[in-house]
C-alpha cells in the first residue's frame, strides 16, 4: 500500500483540526465525501479567519487562484496576493509546495497536509459545479 502525498498525520495541530472538523461538519449526509463550497462561512471560525484562505480551482489547465486570503497569511508572506494565481506568485513561505499540495488535494479528492519549517498547512477540497471547484486552506505557525 502506498501513502498518498501530503497525507494527514495521525494528529493535526489543534487549529487545523478545528478547520477540518468544521469542513467535515458541512458534508451533506452520505451523498458526498466533501462539502459544497458555497456552504462555507469563514466567519464560523472567527479565531482562525486570519489564517484561512479560499482558493478557486480551475481545470484544463489546472490552476489555483487565491480568492480570499486571511490577513495573517498575507502578513507572513509579506504582501497581499489575493486574486493571484499560485503559478504567478513566488512560492515563498508559507506557500512552499502549494501547487503540488493543491494538485494532490484535487486528484486525491481528500484533505492534504504540508508541514515545512515553522508552518503547517491543511487543504480541504470542496464541491461545486460538478467538480472540486474550491479549496479551504488553513495555516498555523509553530
Show me where the domains of the chain are located.
14-39+47-141
Residue 5's pLDDT is 85
**132 vs 95: CA distance, rounded Å:** 21
Ranges of the chain with pLDDT below 50: none
Residue 32's pLDDT is 76
Closest CA to 112 of 2, 12, 26: 12
| Model pLDDT for residues 61-83, shown as the tens digit of each residue | 999 999 999 999 999 999 999 99
Residue 4's pLDDT is 79
Indicate the CATH number for domain 14-39+47-141.
Answer: 3.30.450.20
In degrees and rounded to multiples of 5, residue 19 shows phi and psi of -65, -45
**102 vs 45: CA distance, rounded Å:** 22
Instruction: Give yes or no for a contact between 122 and 20, defined as CB atoms under 8 angstroms apart.
Output: yes
Residue 2's pLDDT is 58
Instruction: Give yes or no for a contact between 124 and 23, defined as CB atoms under 8 angstroms apart.
Output: yes
Instruction: Give yes or no for a contact between 48 and 15, defined as CB atoms under 8 angstroms apart.
Output: yes
Helix, strand, coil shares, percent, the chain, to 5: 30, 30, 40
Residue 80's pLDDT is 97
| Model pTM above 0.85 | yes
Residue 34's pLDDT is 93
Cis peptide before 84 (omega within 30 of 0): no
Amino acid at each position: 500500500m502506498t501513502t498518498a502525498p501530503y497525507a494527514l498525520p495521525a494528529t493535526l495541530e489543534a487549529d487545523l483540526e478545528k478547520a477540518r472538523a468544521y469542513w467535515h461538519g458541512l458534508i451533506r449526509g452520505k451523498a458526498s465525501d466533501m462539502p459544497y463550497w458555497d456552504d462555507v462561512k469563514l466567519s464560523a471560525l472567527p479565531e482562525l479567519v486570519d489564517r484561512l484562505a479560499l482558493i478557486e480551482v480551475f481545470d484544463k489547465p489546472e490552476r489555483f487562484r487565491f480568492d480570499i486570503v486571511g490577513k495573517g497569511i498575507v502578513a507572513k508572506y509579506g504582501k497581499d496576493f489575493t486574486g493571484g494565481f499560485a503559478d504567478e506568485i513566488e512560492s515563498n513561505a508559507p506557500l512552499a509546495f502549494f501547487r503540488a499540495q493543491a494538485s494532490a488535494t484535487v486528484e486525491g479528492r481528500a484533505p492534504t497536509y504540508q508541514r515545512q519549517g515553522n508552518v503547517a498547512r491543511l487543504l480541504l477540497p470542496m464541491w461545486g459545479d460538478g467538480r472540486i471547484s474550491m479549496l479551504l486552506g488553513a495555516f498555523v505557525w509553530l
